[in-house]
Structure 1
């Protein structure tokens, strides 16, 4: 691995968000971070995240990979820039409406829509927080939707609730993405796969060892993905609301204690 590939910004080095672009060079073709990132997104949308490399992105722009290194240092920086563009698309949908519950639902659906439009996006969520300006604006909107609302006077309570919703959304979207990957790998959609394994599952249920699984197969409604996502989100939001209600009752009880 070359020193260029292993390069890690030191304590005094500017992050990609604060680093100026090199001067524009008209030949052999003008470049900019925006053009590079848009080309990388187009490549990822068409072929998946594994297809994104500085070599391929450079080729799509008629530029060698070394020219791209003038605009960013590593592939990881390119991925960060790609993620931030998607957060910008989410923000362009407009202001966050309603109370804390409606606001969190809106943010969850925007994330899901972005993951549907860019199948690679969910693969880059769930690790360390993204620090791009659009990602920070999304985080600010998520926290502001709760901050100051009754029951959310403590910023730790805000972070717990936002974290719980984000954890659900990322988990649910990973499940949807995994199903799409399985379809591509097997050549069968979910219905076809279920038909292929139906006889085996019924033989296993007939052993009597899986009574609860039998109820799932025979009695569960198995709603479509859109409905399932909303129902799961409701469970999380209901849990947050119940916790707020318990806290309010506990606080009222404390105020009613007689003085000693």
Structure 2
């Protein structure tokens, strides 16, 4: 569906009489279904049943599932804070943005997959993008570079949360984990993998999901070059 038609037209059916529900109600029902059963469970028929409407009535608001998912993504983006004061330290502010994104994706586990295929920015997504771009203002980066940094950050969070959720649902057995440790220890001691041996000998890090995410995020954001003098052109 044309983004301008989707986001800039009033909430009304595209044809026929106005039904006893709204675009917001349809979207809320779809989000509830996806939260409970996953994105694959969201079909026009099931969402219509959830709001007590006929399937054909639903098409007045969302002509296809792709459009419905766009609406869902923007609805949950409305949970992201966009009015909090920025500290002016762009790295700290950017990390806060990422932590908010992670929390949102953990509340809505279907969101990382949806973001990989749905790029249409609704009003809530645009408000959060505006907030993130404001966080990057002190960098001196040009507009295109700021958008790239935000895209990089969002992609990192989505990928990390997807991995986090997969690990949580397919927990490795203690025997399997111990076997992996024995294998790597044996390989590291064979003299052919000195870098691996050094890595395994180094002190370990906390392995909680939050600590791991924060550590990876720090490496990503702290490694960004925001020196405008280093930008080409």
Normalising by the smaller structure, the TM-score range is 0.7 to 0.9
Question: Which structure 1 segments of 5+ residues have no match?
Answer: 1-8, 184-188, 251-260
**Alignment of structure 1 residues 105-254 onto 2, 5 Å:** 105-127=95-117, 129-147=119-137, 149-152=138-141, 154-181=142-169, 183=170, 189=171, 192-199=172-179, 201-203=181-183, 205-207=185-187, 208=190, 219=202, 221-223=204-206, 224-240=208-224, 243-244=225-226, 247=229
In 2, Cα distance between equivalents of 1:98 and 1:144: 11
Q: Which runs of 5+ in 2 are unaligned?
A: none
Report the more deviating stretch, 155-164 or 60-69. Answer: 155-164
* Structure-2 separation of matches of 1:165 and 1:110: 12
Alignment map for 1:80-99 (pairs within 5 Å):
80-91=70-81, 94-99=83-88
Which one of the candidate residues 49, 52, 57 is aligned to 2:39? 49
- Deviation string, structure 1 residues 32-86 (Cα, Å, up to 9, x no partner): 1111111111111111111111111111222221121121101111101110011
Q: Is the 8 A contact 1:204 1:210 kept in 2?
A: no
Q: Once structures 1 and 2 are overlaid, which stretch shifts more, 105-114 or 124-133?
A: 124-133
Q: Tell me if the contact between 1:96 and 1:103 (Cα under 8 Å) persists in the aligned partners.
A: no
Does the CA contact (< 8 Å) of 1:130 and 1:136 recur in 2? no
Counterparts of 1:145 and 1:80, CA distance in 2: 25
Moved more, 229-238 or 13-22: 13-22
- TM-score, length basis structure 2: 0.81
TM-score normalised by the chain length of structure 1: 0.73
Q: Distance in 2 between matches of 1:215 and 1:123?
A: 36
RMSD: 2.8
